[in-house]
Amino acid sequence: MTITRADDRVMDLGKLFPADRFVCDAASRSAFESDGLAAFRAKPLAVVIPETADEIVAAVRWCFENDVPFVARGSGTSLSGGSLPVADGIVIALNRMNRILDLNPDARTAVVEPGVINLKVSQAADPYGLYFAPDPSSQTVCTIGGNVAFNAGGAHCLKYGMTSNHVLGMKVVTAAGEVVTMGGASTESIGPDYTGLFCGSEGLFGIALEITLRLLPKPEMFHTVLIGYDSLRAAGDAVSAVIESGLLPGAIEIMDAVSIEAAEAAVKCNYPTGAAAVLIVELEGPKERIAFERELLQRVITATSPVVQMIAKDHEQRMGIWKGRKSVFSAVGRLSPDFLVQDGVVPRNRLGEALVAIEKLSVDSGIRIANVFHAGDGNLHPLIMFDGNIDGMLHRAEAVAADLSQLCISMGGSITGEHGVGMEKRDFLAKMYDANTVEMFDRLRRAFDPKLISNPGKMFPGPEAPSLGMAGLHPLEKAGVIQRE
Amino acid sequence: MTITRADDRVMDLGKLFPADRFVCDAASRSAFESDGLAAFRAKPLAVVIPETADEIVAAVRWCFENDVPFVARGSGTSLSGGSLPVADGIVIALNRMNRILDLNPDARTAVVEPGVINLKVSQAADPYGLYFAPDPSSQTVCTIGGNVAFNAGGAHCLKYGMTSNHVLGMKVVTAAGEVVTMGGASTESIGPDYTGLFCGSEGLFGIALEITLRLLPKPEMFHTVLIGYDSLRAAGDAVSAVIESGLLPGAIEIMDAVSIEAAEAAVKCNYPTGAAAVLIVELEGPKERIAFERELLQRVITATSPVVQMIAKDHEQRMGIWKGRKSVFSAVGRLSPDFLVQDGVVPRNRLGEALVAIEKLSVDSGIRIANVFHAGDGNLHPLIMFDGNIDGMLHRAEAVAADLSQLCISMGGSITGEHGVGMEKRDFLAKMYDANTVEMFDRLRRAFDPKLISNPGKMFPGPEAPSLGMAGLHPLEKAGVIQRE
């Protein structure tokens, strides 16, 4: 192992941690070199594994004093490359910061450390009839710290909102090493929404040390229906009909024919055959209300001319329906050697139009695209399928992805609904916002991170945009530390 | 009129506006010297009345270049002194910025200028069956710009959230004169919630030029019930029962005996007599759903042993119930020469405890306190009644107000739910948050307003807290520009 000056300094950091929680050998560091967006890799100088908030603060302060960049990492499930390390920085791995510090059933709150797994919160709250609402597909592995950093969504954010709607307060260490408090234990707060500012900041502001979450009472019952249509457009129209009826389902999801085929092949979910698209609608709430709402839903659905319909009769059938939906990302992997998961948003009333445009993109490019989406939100997850072993295919797939992002922008939507900008979409930030606005974003960031050492290189366009005042940005590309697979 | 150097400079600003929209004579300026918190007064050097966004930007840039502080003002209804002018600064009056620029029934959005009256948005949306949900009691006069600046709430924010939940995007001029964009036309946005950061910033970051609002479909019907109890505690307990039943009413309000007496005397609202407290619960939604929910509500209410109950049979009776509730602030003025409106928040599950503590505060201090509150949110509006003509009474009333704020903080709540910090509560900011945190708030503010010229002296503790890095604060107190009435 070549010792550079940066490495020397990092060995000093090692003195702050016991040997088994300071990782600096090349093999072990390799385990941290990528995240859910595997197209990017970078090996950090070292990894520290704090077990207390004080240790996190000490590591951040050391980085600040020594001008060493850091990337906080939970389970590394980011689909936008948001937790990609930087090659001359360190990783602060938060997996051992996994304690639920307080759970108050009366106030319906939980105070957790950032490394707590999303699903563990609901499991801990379960004996009190409570749960944590945000449910990203990765909820069995992803951490609350990552959910906060990327303002994670999930199938049920139609009804309950994103992670930021469920974070009441936080204790945070800024990138400059100061410990600050945001929000509190109540949903009403004073002044600007600092908690909301931190949620979705993609690790650029600092690290959350303690997070106060809002818990919700578990729905008394669910009513889950899967409805097949003869076209994607018909499924899209049915979404509008459901919303216009005044119903607010817990989730409204759509899968197209390719996604259905993939899910069927992968997990044998036994979806009814013959549909070009399926719509999943899930009502949830008190028994009496569901009894009423299911009748209303039935009348609405009947009027949308479905091809086939399947109502979950019990918990097992409900889980079967969700198993199909939640398997799509991995299932598409069986149909295609590689794929890019996209995460665009279009206004819900332009969903049909967007689907037609995506179909055209697919035909024009000759690249197959599977569609699954949180239809109630207008949040699309097209899966762009390609074979990375064929020369030039990754580039062609990326070109289609760029066209999809541009499409969302031009329709008045967004380049990301829940996966974040990360590495993947940073060139689009300056396409969605003018230079003044990106400069203001940058100034706010510098209020937390004057040296630009916290997760540098993410979200903001790179040095190719010098007008953005990014001269101080850590030279991720200049140094050539990113290798494409 | 004495010409000072500051006045000289202000005359230059006058060259940017036609004479009838540049107000500098003493009598006209007096009209702007106070807002809804009449205990404070300050006469601005001049008032400009822009009619276009460009004129607002020109005024702000002039202020920035000339180091002249400014206060943006809509209708001046702030109850926390948030739109109080500064004596050596100008007021930018936004009343003529009152156009609805776009109304899109399909997307359910409206783009408005900051001076549009809250209620006008709902009136414009009405032909399309839509409305703007946030409904502060002042909605017939207050402006959207002010609603945004103070993140206004209202009786129906229990169900629909605060103003920030209904602002999709904004075009803003920062205090440094830059025009920036936040959010967009969709509910899903990327990265940090900048729109939420601007909402509730109390005019310290700059001025919103265009605001994109989310519109909601008008509820098909309402079901409004007024329930009398023999104690305030019983009414508080009923709130928990309603919430625990799984119902999410549009509004849950409580008025105590003093408030009922005041409302009855003022507007003859014909509330049933003999109740120590009344609870107002309003269900709203599609007809079929209400038919179901009203039965559930009836069962819940019957179990709470009410003394008396009144169900609104038609629109007129519903308006009668709300007339009583919405008149309380002005009605209390008939019982007492002066009063201070408070705006504290306690966790909803500690409401009963808070009411007992407030009762004790009233008894101990010998000062009468009327209680009305958005009970579903735990948002209290105690009205502290006193006679300002009696020497020392204002001070005693303020001491009780301070004790109330401290009570809310100690119970894990907040010093303000919807009125803002403004002039009134700024000393409490440093009691709710530690010095590190207030410093971070200050740094974020400076990212928008490096010269501290936008609504200076509000929200942040004054020069008495020099450790907060407020050396650059406009010396509002030093100059003695604030006079107590």
Can you tell me the distance from the alpha carbon of B73 to that of A3, in angstroms, rounded to the nearest whole number? 61
Low-confidence ranges of chain B (pLDDT < 50): 1-5, 464-485
Nearest residue to A351 (alpha-carbon basis) of A243, A205, A471: A243
Q: Do B188 and A378 touch (CB under 8 A)?
A: yes
pLDDT value, residue A254: 94
Q: Nearest C-alpha of chain A: how many angstroms from B191?
A: 5
Q: Nearest C-alpha of chain B: how many angstroms from A189?
A: 6
B-chain residues near A193 (CB < 8 A): 151, 164, 193, 196-197, 199-200
pLDDT value, residue B466: 29
Can you tell me the distance from the alpha carbon of B332 to that of B384, in angstroms, rounded to the nearest whole number? 10
- Domain A6-93, CATH class in plain words: alpha beta
Q: Report the residue count for chain B.
A: 485
Q: Nearest C-alpha of chain A: how many angstroms from B450?
A: 11
Q: Do B190 and A296 touch (CB under 8 A)?
A: no
Question: Which residues sit opposite A210 in a β-bridge?
Answer: A171
Q: What is the mean pLDDT of chain B?
A: 88
pLDDT value, residue B287: 86
Determine which of A170, A172, A188 to mutate to test the interface with B (most B C-beta atoms within 10 Å): A188
Q: What Rg do the C-alpha atoms of chain A give, in angstroms?
A: 23
pLDDT value, residue A160: 86
Q: Do B190 and A440 touch (CB under 8 A)?
A: no
CA dihedral B240, B241, B242, B246 (to 10 degrees): 100
Q: Nearest C-alpha of chain B: how many angstroms from A32?
A: 24
Nearest to A180 among B220, B293, B436 (CB): B436
Q: Nearest C-alpha of chain A: how many angstroms from B421?
A: 7
Q: What share of chain A is helix, strand, coil (3-state, %, to 5)?
A: 40, 20, 40
Nearest to B379 among A164, A188, A378 (CB): A188
Can you tell me the distance from the alpha carbon of B22 to that of B24, in angstroms, rounded to the nearest whole number? 6
Q: Do B286 and A379 touch (CB under 8 A)?
A: no
pLDDT value, residue B68: 95
Nearest to A447 among B151, B418, B447 (CB): B447
Query: Does residue B435 sit in helix, strand or coil?
Result: helix
For domain A100-217, the CATH architecture is: 2-Layer Sandwich (3.30)
Q: Nearest C-alpha of chain A: how many angstroms from B176?
A: 11
Measured CA to CA in angstroms, residue A288 lies from A249, A295, B161 at distances of: 15, 12, 25
Nearest to B345 among A188, A349, A434 (CB): A188
Report pLDDT digits (tens) over A467-485.
Answer: 222 222 233 333 333 333 2
Nearest to A289 among B106, B188, B246 (CB): B246
pLDDT over 70, % of chain A: 93
A-chain residues near B180 (CB < 8 A): 434, 436-437, 440
Residue A26 buriedness (CB in 10 A; 0-12 / 13-18 / 19+)? exposed
Predicted-complex ipTM score: 0.80
pLDDT value, residue B331: 86
Token pair belonging to B141: 């006069």
pLDDT value, residue A187: 61
Report pLDDT digits (tens) over A403-453.
Answer: 999 999 898 888 888 888 888 888 888 888 899 999 999 999 999 999 999
pTM of the model: 0.85
A-chain residues near B417 (CB < 8 A): 188
Token pair belonging to B275: 């109740």
Token pair belonging to A78: 């980011």
Q: Do B447 and A448 touch (CB under 8 A)?
A: no
Element holding A226 (H helix, E strand):
strand A221-229
Q: Do B186 and A345 touch (CB under 8 A)?
A: yes
Nearest to B190 among A190, A217, A421 (CB): A421
Domain boundaries, chain A: 6-93, 100-217, 219-332, 336-449
Nearest residue to A22 (alpha-carbon basis) of A13, A31, A35, A32: A13
Asked, colleague to colleague, whether A6-93 and A100-217 share their fold, the answer is: no
Residues 6+ apart with CB under 8 A from A210: A53, A101, A111, A112, A113, A170, A171
Task: Please report the DSSP string for B240-297 in residue order.
Answer: HHHHHTT---SEEEEEEHHHHHHHHHHH---PPSS-SEEEEEEEEE-HHHHHHHHHHH
Residue of A nearest to B188 (CA): A417
Phi-psi region of A33 (alpha: psi -120 to 50; beta: other; left: phi over 0): alpha
Q: Is the dihedral of CA B253, B258, B259, B263 positive or negative?
A: positive
Nearest to B193 among A180, A200, A293 (CB): A200
pLDDT value, residue A174: 98
Report pLDDT digits (tens) over B30-56.
Answer: 889 888 887 788 999 999 999 999 999
Nearest to B193 among A193, A220, A345 (CB): A193
Determine which of A201, A440, A441, A468 to mutate to test the interface with B (most B C-beta atoms within 10 Å): A440
B-chain residues near A164 (CB < 8 A): 193, 196
Q: Nearest C-alpha of chain B: how many angstroms from A379?
A: 8
Inter-residue contact B412 to A184 (CB < 8 Å)? yes
Q: Do A246 and B202 touch (CB under 8 A)?
A: no
Query: Does residue B197 sit in helix, strand or coil?
Result: helix
Q: Does domain A219-332 fall into CATH 2.40.50.140?
A: no
Determine which of A160, A186, A237, A446 to mutate to test the interface with B (most B C-beta atoms within 10 Å): A186
Q: Residue A186: which pLDDT band, with cuts at 50, 70 and 90?
A: low
Residue of B nearest to A182 (CA): B437
A-chain residues near B285 (CB < 8 A): 246
Q: Does domain A336-449 fall into CATH 1.25.40.80?
A: no
Q: Do B200 and A180 touch (CB under 8 A)?
A: no
Token pair belonging to B91: 């007021």
Count of beta carbons in the 10 Å neighbourhood of residue B224: 23
B188/A156: higher pLDDT: A156
Report pLDDT digits (tens) over A354-411.
Answer: 888 998 999 999 999 999 888 888 888 999 999 989 999 988 998 999 999 999 989 8
Determine which of A163, A193, A205 to mutate to test the interface with B (most B C-beta atoms within 10 Å): A193
Q: Do B378 and A188 touch (CB under 8 A)?
A: yes
pLDDT value, residue B430: 85
Token pair belonging to B333: 């003025």
Number of cross-chain residue pairs from A and B with Cβ atoms under 8 Å apart: 203
Nearest to A192 among B190, B201, B417 (CB): B201
Nearest to B444 among A187, A417, A447 (CB): A447
Measured CA to CA in angstroms, residue B206 lies from B86, B179, B303 at distances of: 15, 10, 51
Complete edge-to-edge strand list for the sheet that includes strand A90-93? A22-23, A46-48, A90-93, A70-73
Report pLDDT digits (tens) over A229-281.
Answer: 999 889 988 998 998 888 889 999 999 999 999 999 888 888 888 899 999 99
Measured CA to CA in angstroms, residue A59 lies from A347, B38, B227 at distances of: 42, 50, 57
Residue of B nearest to A153 (CA): B188
Can you tell me the distance from the alpha carbon of B236 to that of B350, in angstroms, rounded to the nearest whole number? 10
Inter-residue contact B169 to B195 (CB < 8 Å)? yes
